[in-house]
Amino acid sequence: MDIATSSALSLTDHQPSLSVVMFRIADAYASPIALLTTFITAFFWLIKSQKSFKLFFNITLWLSMIALLDNLVGLIVCLFDKQDNPEYLLLSACLVYLENVAVFAAYYWRFDHPLQIRIAAGEKIHPGIVFPHNTSGFQSLVGWRPKYVDYLFLSFNTASTFGPTLPVPLRNSVQIGMMLQVTIAMAVLIMLAARAIGLIN
């Protein structure tokens, strides 16, 4: 996703300014490293090496976060470049939005799922996120634990509605993540609105 976003950003302007070039260079290093660590993470997940999986998952997550922020800043910088191509700028904005959803789905999983497993094992701690399933009272949902699709749904809703919907964040790490995700989503929306106003004028 990140490589596609950076590729689309590179097509927005054939004569980019120095600032745009600098962000492209930074992304050229971050994206392949994040892709490599993703494959390493998947390998350790397949062979069920928990310690190595957690280490490389964390590395991949933070590299992906850096690449996402780099793409966002690159997108904003491209907005002020008068030679940009509107079609590729719109494509880049859509890809940054999708990247935002994907990265934060992994972020929420990272900061909540281990707590959910510990709660299921009987520890008296609270989760990072309370899902409606936990408080519904249905007997069929007793012992329910969120799966990755639940975190993807949460991430999509947070990016689309600019805040949490039904799942409630309880821990600071999740709350900070949501604030950052909403900030990125709003920045993309403001950028698109500014571009549309510029085209009208």
This model's pTM is above 0.75: yes
DSSP state of 130: E
Q: Does 189 or 86 have the greater pLDDT score?
A: 189
pLDDT at 40: 94
**Count H helices, E strands: the chain?**
7, 2
pLDDT at 133: 81
pLDDT at 119: 84
pLDDT at 21: 66
pLDDT at 191: 77
> Which residue in 157, 163, 56 sits closest to 110, CA to CA?
56
- Domain count within the chain: 1
CA distance 183 to 158: 10
Amino acid at 137: G
pLDDT at 104: 94
Q: How confident is the model at residue 33 (pLDDT cuts 50, 70, 90)?
A: confident
Average pLDDT over residues 42-66: 91
Indicate if the pLDDT at residue 137 is higher than 80: no
Range of the domain at 98: 2-200
Average pLDDT over residues 88-115: 89
Q: At what angle do helices 172-200 and 50-79 cross, to 10 degrees?
A: 30
Mean pLDDT score of the chain: 81
Q: Are 53 and 41 in contact (CB under 8 A)?
A: yes
pLDDT at 138: 77
Cβ within 8 Å of residue 59, ≥6 positions away = 37, 41
pLDDT > 90 fraction of the chain, expressed in percent and rounded: 24
